[in-house]
Amino acid sequence: MAKINSPVELEEFRKAILNRRDPDKSCITLCSGSACNASGSAAVARCLEEEIEKQGLSESVEIRKTGCHGFCERGPIIVNNPGGVCYLQIQPEDVPEIISETAKEKRVIDRLLYTDPESGEKITHEGDIPFYKNQQRMVFGPNLSIDPKSIDDYLAIDGYAALSKALTGMSDIEVLEEVKKSNLRGRGGGGFPAGQKWEGSRNAAGEAKYVIVNADEGDPGAYMDRAILEGNPHSILEGLTLGAYAIGAHEGYVYVRQEYPLAVENLLLAIEKAEEYGFLGKNILGTGFDFKVIVHQGAGAFVCGESTALMTALEGRVGEPRPKYVRSNIKGLWNQPSVLNNVETWANVPLIINKGADWFTQFGTEGSKGTKIFSLVGKITNTGLVEVPMGTTLKDIIYKIGGGIPGGKKFKAVQTGGPSGGCIPENLLDLEVGFDELTKAGSMMGSGGMIVLDEDTCMVDVARYFIEFLTDESCGKCTPCREGLRQMLRILTNITEGRGQEGDLELLETLAETATEAALCALGKSAPNPFLSTLRYFRDEYVAHIEEKRCPALSCKELINFYIDPEKCRGCGSCLRKCPADAIIGGKKLIHIVDQDKCTKCGTCFDACPDKFAAVTKLSGVPVPAAVPEEERTIKKSK
């Protein structure tokens, strides 16, 4: 492949790609994202290849393996083009029929379609499924139509047009001004205005300047950056190159966690291809602009997502944050001006340059423009990645898109912002998502994790969970974080295990203040948030644990007992067979009893008991009733 040397050549090349493609040719798009892979997408892919070959359709049917489509709950997903017929939860057995019926005969296979849970109707097209219909997929949308390993696919959807436009039609200042005007705020944490950060670096003195992608995504329960990295790596590279042009950088880094091997692979390939085509490297598109990108793998430390720690790690050192009061856009990597932005932030840049700031600002709220991708997970029917305009209410996201809480359970709270964020209770569900709105509610946008919690989730345990996570991930450099979190974890663990004492909450609040005010970096400063926000909205749960030794959500192991209601037990033996601890005493036609000394509280019996009996219950804060005496355990004929 010869380098593309000018915008004209690029457009000619693009036209050639499009001309080579026959829009009527059958193309089976298969999601090969991480979640779909885990539910069998690779096996489906193999079957597709074999079956196409077997049915002699190699010439007329092609397969495109894409990144995550977002609806991971129902993976593996197939979209049949042209026509866009969408099949969910595909297994290898379904493949022959898909090929013979849909690919060949263009007939729709009803049983593989999505069924609307409300109307019971079948839905043929991906975009009509309520999960997708209520989204606005600007950044994430292209994932559906490109193979991340093919640069031609990216070019076919206007890829690198923004770069070409900027390098030849706009001055570096114009690019900067456009991004400033778009009010794009950082998608990775604090929501700092990207344009302002860039401007600082642009104006700062330095021998060299750097642009950096934060692809560390350490937030547990969030994977939207992964989906873009794996599914559309060129969009990030294009954004990064535009940033480099705007601030005058010639070297960029992607700090990506090694736990994402597919992301690393696709990114390295994308860089290689972009260099080959002339979108990266020397004399990009023949304009004289040079820019190279280096991939640095993170070795597993959440704190390395913090900007100064990340830059320290890039220098090959232990990723401890630096105690500095100079912003890293002025003095960052190797002490030079360095712009660090999140994956999603960078991926927004080509859109802004292509379509203009005015187009971009029509989405969103006054303070937060554009869209945001959330990872909607936890106790939610439609788990997956959703992209919505800023300003969408939490209620719409959870109910319209997410389909509500499964199993007829009651919603309790939604946790946003990861370990630095907080929990938002039911009465605030009308809240419109945006940086400032979420912060005001005691949480934060963070990188976009949205974990739905139902009535079975204990809020004290949620706080304990995040503090435990942070105790493990703290770098250990400063005292309020290292020692403060250690003590907070100890106290919270005591509370969830029934050893809470009067004064614990006050002590926790003191430790929270110490960390918030005096910790060195944002990890420690924001670490108390999950505790503070759960205390703010669910204080009664803390009090129940401490004063009554009771877990209202019936979740804390040390505070609950499993008990079989002798009135309801029909002696079916389901629990007895499944209990991994041999803690159930019972037999044919006998009332079953949980041996409390042997019970490990794994909850298997609770799940095993048939719904129609629902004899296994959880007790908390009350003594377990004495077992029925052995001679009285025979079950009389059911009434």
Partner 1 sequence: MSEILLEIDGQKVKAKTGMTVLEAAKAAGIRIPTLCYHEKLEPYGGCRLCIVELGAGERKKIVVSCVYLAEEGLVVTTRSEKIDRIRRTIIELYLAHAPDAFELLELAKEYGADRDRFAKEASFCVHCGLCVRYCAEVKKKFAVGFVDRGTRKEISFVPEIAAEECWDCKECFPLCPTEALQAAFVLMRALSL
Partner 2 sequence: MDNDRVDQIIDKHNGEASSLIQVLLEIQSEHHWLPKSALERVGERLQVPRTRILHIATFYKAFSLVPKGRHEINVCMGTACHVRGAGRVLDVIEDVIGIKPGETDLELKFSLETVNCLGCCALGPVLEIDGTTHGKMAPGETADVLLNYE
Ligand X SMILES: Cc1cc2nc3c(=O)[nH]c(=O)nc-3n(C[C@H](O)[C@H](O)[C@H](O)COP(=O)(O)O)c2cc1C
- Regarding 302 and contact with partner 2 (CB under 8 A), the answer is yes
Per CB under 6 A, the list member of 175, 211, 303, 311 interacting with ligand SF4 is: 303
CB of 223 to partner 1, least distance (A): 24
- Regarding 523 and contact with ligand SF4 (CB under 6 A), the answer is yes
519 interacts with, out of ligand SF4, ligand FES, partner 2, none, CB within 5 to 8 A per kind: ligand SF4
State the DSSP string of 264-307: HHHHHHHHHHHHHHTSSEEEETTTTEEEEEEEEEE-S-GGGGSH
- Regarding 449 and contact with ligand X (CB under 6 A), the answer is no
- Regarding 224 and contact with ligand FES (CB under 6 A), the answer is no
Binding mask 515-544 for ligand X (x = CB under 6 A): ------xxx---------------------
Query: Counting beta carbons within 10 angstroms of the beta carbon of residue 156, is it exposed (0 to 12), middle (13 to 18) or buried (19 or more)?
Result: middle
- Regarding 331 and contact with ligand SF4 (CB under 6 A), the answer is no
CA 580/CA 598 separation, integer angstroms: 10
Per CB under 6 A, the list member of 29, 329, 383, 447 interacting with ligand X is: 447
CA 133/CA 137 separation, integer angstroms: 10
- Regarding 68 and contact with ligand FES (CB under 6 A), the answer is yes
- Regarding 217 and contact with ligand X (CB under 6 A), the answer is yes
Using alpha carbons, list the distances in angstroms from residue 156 to 3, 141, 149, 238, 511. Answer: 17, 14, 13, 15, 55
Of 479-498, binders to ligand SF4 (CB under 6 A) are 481-482
Backbone angles phi, psi at 300, to 5 degrees: 95, 75
Per CB under 6 A, the list member of 187, 400, 477, 633 interacting with ligand SF4 is: 477
364 interacts with, out of partner 2, partner 1, ligand FES, none, CB within 5 to 8 A per kind: none
Matching residue, tokens 């944050």: 321
Binding segment (CB under 6 A) for ligand FES, from list 28-36, 254-262, 307-315, 488-496: 28-36
H/E element, 594 = strand 593-594
- Regarding 199 and contact with ligand X (CB under 6 A), the answer is no
72 interacts with, out of ligand X, ligand SF4, ligand FES, none, CB within 5 to 8 A per kind: ligand FES
Task: Report which of 187, 246, 195 is spatially closest to residue 213, judged by C-alpha positions.
Answer: 187
C-beta closer to ligand X: residue 64 or 486: 486
432 interacts with, out of ligand FES, ligand SF4, partner 1, none, CB within 5 to 8 A per kind: none
Query: Counting beta carbons within 10 angstroms of the beta carbon of residue 387, is it exposed (0 to 12), middle (13 to 18) or buried (19 or more)?
Result: buried
CB of 332 to partner 1, least distance (A): 16
Query: Counting beta carbons within 10 angstroms of the beta carbon of residue 468, is it exposed (0 to 12), middle (13 to 18) or buried (19 or more)?
Result: middle
Integer-rounded Cα radius of gyration of the chain: 27
- Regarding 36 and contact with ligand FES (CB under 6 A), the answer is yes
CB of 307 to ligand SF4, least distance (A): 12
Joined together, the tokens standing for residue 201 give 């670096």
State the DSSP string of 31-94: E-SHHHHHTTHHHHHHHHHHHHHHTT-TTTEEEEEES--S-GGG-S-EEEETTTEEE-S--GGG
Joined together, the tokens standing for residue 571 give 């002696």
Strand order of the sheet with strand 26-31? 61-66, 26-31, 78-81, 85-87
Binding segment (CB under 8 A) for partner 2, from list 160-168, 177-185, 463-471, 621-629: 463-471
CA 510/CA 488 separation, integer angstroms: 10
- Regarding 72 and contact with ligand FES (CB under 6 A), the answer is yes
Pairing outcome for strands 122-123 and 85-87: unpaired
Per CB under 6 A, the list member of 147, 152, 306, 437 interacting with ligand X is: 306
CA 192/CA 68 separation, integer angstroms: 28
520 interacts with, out of ligand X, ligand SF4, partner 2, none, CB within 5 to 8 A per kind: ligand SF4
- Regarding 313 and contact with ligand SF4 (CB under 6 A), the answer is no
| Cβ-Cβ contacts under 8 Å for 319 (sequence gap 6 or more) | 301, 303, 304, 309, 310, 312, 313, 475
- In 472-494, which positions are buried (b, 16+ CB within 10 angstroms) versus exposed (e)? ebbbebbebbbebbebbbebbbb
How many chain residues are in contact with ligand X, going by CB under 6 A? Answer: 24
- Regarding 4 and contact with ligand SF4 (CB under 6 A), the answer is no
Residues of this chain that interact with ligand FES (CB under 6 A) are 31, 33-36, 68-72, 75, 77
List residues binding ligand SF4 (CB under 6 A).
303, 321, 474-478, 481-482, 519-521, 523-524
Instruction: List interacting residues with partner 2 (CB under 8 A).
Output: 34-35, 37-39, 72-73, 75, 218-223, 226-227, 258-260, 296-302, 313-319, 375, 377-379, 383-384, 415, 418, 449, 451, 453, 457, 462, 465-466, 469, 475, 578-580, 600, 602-604, 607-608
Interface with ligand X (CB under 6 A):
186-190, 192, 214, 216-219, 302-303, 305-307, 340-342, 345, 447, 521-523
